[in-house]
Amino acid sequence: MSKIVFEDVHKSFDGGLRVLNGVSLKVEKGESHIILGRSGCGKSVLLKCLTGIMPVDSGDILADDISVGDKKRSKEYLQKFSILFQGNALFDSMTIIDNVVFGASQKNKDKSERRKIAEEKLLAVGLEKRVFDLYPAEISGGMQKRAALARAIAVEPEILLFDEPTSGLDPVTAGIICNLLKETIKSLGVTALTITHDLRVAEFLEDRISLLNEGRIVWTGHARDMENSGNQFVENFHRASNVITQRSAITAE
C-alpha cells in the first residue's frame, strides 16, 4: 500500500486556466519523494489539493487509503500531514516559541508538556534560546525557516511536505537547511514530499524524483537517470539546471 496516491487529479481555475491535467503518482511509505517542475507549473496547487485546502475538480487523492474528500475522516487525514510552507507561514502575532507550542498543542493536551516539546524541537533545528521569545518578523529568513520546521515537526506528522524549502535563502543557508531537512526526514523516519524547481535540492533530498509538466507527471526516477531518460522535457530540464549550476560555480570563484 502506498502512503500517498494521486489518481488522475484535475484542477482548473476561473477563466479556464487548467493547472493540473491528470496527475497520477504514488509515494511509498518512508521515501523522500521530490516533485520537480518549472515555476508556475502548479506545484503549490498540487500541495494545496493534497492537504484539502483546495478541492480537486476530478480524480482522487489518498493517504493511507483515506480520501482527501472523505468528510468523516478529514481530521484523521489532516493529522498525517505537516507542511513547511514556501513563505514559512509563521503566525506573526505569536512569538517563535508560541508558534511551535501551537503546533504541539494539536496533538498534545498537557500544557507544560507542550512547552517542553516546543523547546526540544527548536533546539533540534538549531535555534538558540535567545530567539524563542522574539516575533517572526524580528528574525532572519534562515531562522524563520528553522522555526517553521520546528513547528512542522512538533505536530508529529507521518508525512512531511516541503514547499520550495530553499526559496529566498542564500546558497550557504540553503545548503544548511537542506542538510537539516535530510537529517529530520531520516531521524523521524517519516514519508517526505518535497516540491521544488531546484534540481540541486532534488538531487540532495531524493529517493525518487517526479517531473511535473503541463499538468501531468511526465517522468519518475532517480536524478542520475535524468540525462538519459529518453524524455525531451526531462533532459532539457536537467541540462538547463546544470548550466545554471556551472555558471554560479564560476561566479562564486
Ligand X SMILES: Nc1ncnc2c1ncn2[C@@H]1O[C@H](COP(=O)(O)OP(=O)(O)OP(=O)(O)O)[C@@H](O)[C@H]1O
Interacting residues with Mg ion (CB under 5 A): 44
Site for ligand X in 12-51 (CB under 6 A): 13, 17, 19, 37, 39-45
Q: What's the min distance (Å) between Cβ of 185 and other proteins?
A: 18
Among 37, 42, 103, 142, binds other proteins (CB under 8 A): 103
| Bridge partners (DSSP) listed for residue 21 | 10
Q: What is the CA radius of gyration of the chain?
A: 18
Cβ neighbours, 10 Å, residue 149: 27
DSSP 154: H
Task: Check if the beta carbon of residue 36 is closer than 8 Å to that of residue 197.
Answer: yes
Instruction: Among 51, 166, 229, 241, indicate the residue that binds other proteins (CB under 8 A).
Output: 51
Contact pattern from residue 143 through residue 182 relative to other proteins, giving x for each residue in contact according to CB under 8 A and a dash for the rest: ------------x---------------------------
Q: Which amino acid is at 78?
A: L
Closest CA to 5 of 36, 22, 28: 28
CB 154 within 8 A of CB 103: yes
Per-residue contact flags (x/-) with other proteins for residues 13 to 42, judged by CB under 8 A: ------------------------------
Cα–Cα distance measured from residue 198 to residue 3, given in angstroms and rounded to the nearest whole number: 24
Choose the one of other proteins, Mg ion, ligand X, none that binds residue 188, judging by a C-beta under 5 to 8 angstroms depending on kind.
none
Question: Which one among 75, 109, 130, 224 touches other proteins, defined by CB under 8 A?
Answer: 75
Closest separation between CB of residue 81 and other proteins, Å? 6
Q: Is 200 in the site for ligand X (CB under 6 A)?
A: no
C-alpha cell of 75?
481530521
What span, in angstroms and rounded, lies between the C-alpha atoms of 210 and 221?
7
Q: Where in 64-114 does DSSP place strands (E)? A: 66-67, 81-84
| Terminal Cα-to-Cα distance of the chain (whole angstroms) | 48
Q: How far is the CB of 162 from Mg ion (least distance, A)?
A: 11
Which residues contribute to the site for other proteins (CB under 8 A)?
Answer: 48, 51-53, 75, 78-79, 81-83, 85-93, 102-103, 106, 155
| Interface contacts to ligand X, rule CB under 6 A | 13, 17, 19, 37, 39-45, 164, 197
